[in-house]
Structure 1
Amino acid sequence: MSEEIQDIMNITHVKVQDFTANPAPLGLMGFGMTTVLLNIHNAGFYNLGAVILSMGFFYGGLAQVIAGIEEWRKGNTFGATAFTSYGLFWLTLVGIVLLPRFEWAEGLAPASTAFAAYLFMWGLFTFFMFIGTLKANRALQVVFLTLTILFFLLAAGNYLGSAAILRIAGFEGIFCGFTAIYAALGQVLNEMYGKKMVPL
């Protein structure tokens, strides 16, 4: 057996350096900007339209799924689960809004109780993800805590048919979205400058 082959057989650990970029800012921006725009609507400032649905499909939806797949490649289970799940949340939400508008699916519009159940389940999922952030930075904790509150407010507002609760949820959701934008930009600027420009 040659010496080179013997050396290869003796190798037990290989360290591979990761030079890929951090996908979290992309996911956080896709989530944050789309959340702000939707909740400006929930707060009563404008109607639900193509701007929100397009953001929900492309940036909140597809961009977060891409970020989630990139987090999976990095071995980050939390990031992969969060970004892929919330990307698919936005895609399902767009589907819930648009599908009943097609003639062949007009009977599929959800009752308020069914939509409340949908939002409640997302709130439950987010609460458990929030528990995971207790091992992460403070900025991420705030994002997931405010998102948990947002989902439960939206679930309550839809279940009770309360415009007041939905309006409160809108303002809370605007804050939640901006916390995600803050966390995203903080990571980008801190990396660009090589020091803590934005506290997280």
Structure 2
Amino acid sequence: MDQQTANPAPVGLLGFGMTTILLNIHNAGFFPISAMILAMGIFYGGIAQVIAGILEYKKGNTFAYTAFTSYGMFWLTLVFLIVAPKWGITGPTEHAYMGWYLFVWGLFTFFMFLGTKGKSPVLRFIFGSLVVLFMLLAVRDWSGSALIGTIAGWEGIVCGASAFYLGVAEVLEAAQGRKVLPF
């Protein structure tokens, strides 16, 4: 009997998408960082994506393994950078240093974007818009511009919504046995 395994990508995409939407609603200026965003960053954006990445590894999908595991760790490190000073573990990270942190993630994402050539247009959009998001956030931290931070927030909502869409599209396709939403 041939045993089929479930596709772990929707969990990774939804974990990334929903957490990105919520953080960027904050970046757009609608509400402050709260336990809700931090919890999403640890559990759904962080741990769930790492698990999805490990399951993609078992499937032999190097791209998805690298993406989900790396962005899961991004969320875990970001939450740590926010809470470590509050717990007295470290001092706060200066904005210029956060700019470099975000820039390096943007650079990594640019190379991951190159890996989306020939893949679905929605996946290409996710990675392309994520490059823009990281670069906008880096410039915000380097310049201190609230306007750039607000623009980044709106752009991040769109990026997260595109990942959410692709995750839901893949779940619906698996549930219905056919494409329900184009991707």
Helix, strand or coil at the partner of 2:115: helix
1:179 counterpart residue number: 162
1:129 counterpart residue number: 112
Question: Is 1:153–2:128 an aligned residue pair?
Answer: no
Q: Between 183-192 and 87-96, report the one with greater CA deviation.
A: 183-192
Q: CA deviation at 1:135?
A: 2.3
2:103 counterpart residue number: 120
2:31 counterpart residue number: 46
Helix, strand or coil at the partner of 2:84: helix
Count of residue pairs the alignment pairs up? 183
* Larger relative contact order (CA 8 Å, sep ≥ 6): 2
The 5-angstrom pairing of residues 44-193 of structure 1 reads 44-103=29-88, 105-106=89-90, 108-193=91-176
2:179 counterpart residue number: 196
Q: CA deviation at 1:52?
A: 0.1
Using a 3 Å threshold, how does the CA distance of structure 1 residues 18 and 151 change in structure 2: closer, same or farther? farther
Q: CA deviation at 1:192?
A: 1.4
Using a 3 Å threshold, how does the CA distance of structure 1 residues 18 and 147 change in structure 2: closer, same or farther? farther
* Ranges in structure 1 where 5+ consecutive residues have no aligned partner: 1-15
1:30 counterpart residue number: 15
Task: Compare CA radii of gyration and give the structure with the larger one.
Answer: 1
Q: CA deviation at 1:17?
A: 5.5
Using the size of structure 2 for normalisation, the TM-score is 0.97
Q: CA deviation at 1:195?
A: 1.4
Q: 1:128-179: per-residue Cα shift (whole Å, max 9, x none)?
A: 1011011211110011011110000000001000000000000000000000
Helix, strand or coil at the partner of 1:100: coil
Q: 1:27-58: per-residue Cα shift (whole Å, max 9, x none)?
A: 00000000000000000000001000000000
Q: CA deviation at 1:21?
A: 0.6
Q: Distance in 2 between matches of 1:30 and 1:89?
A: 12
Q: 1:97-122: per-residue Cα shift (whole Å, max 9, x none)?
A: 0001123x24x211111000000000
Q: Distance in 1 between matches of 2:74 and 2:152?
A: 18
Helix, strand or coil at the partner of 1:47: coil
After TM superposition, which residue ranges in structure 1, 4 or more long, deviate above 4 angstroms? none
* Ranges in structure 2 where 5+ consecutive residues have no aligned partner: none
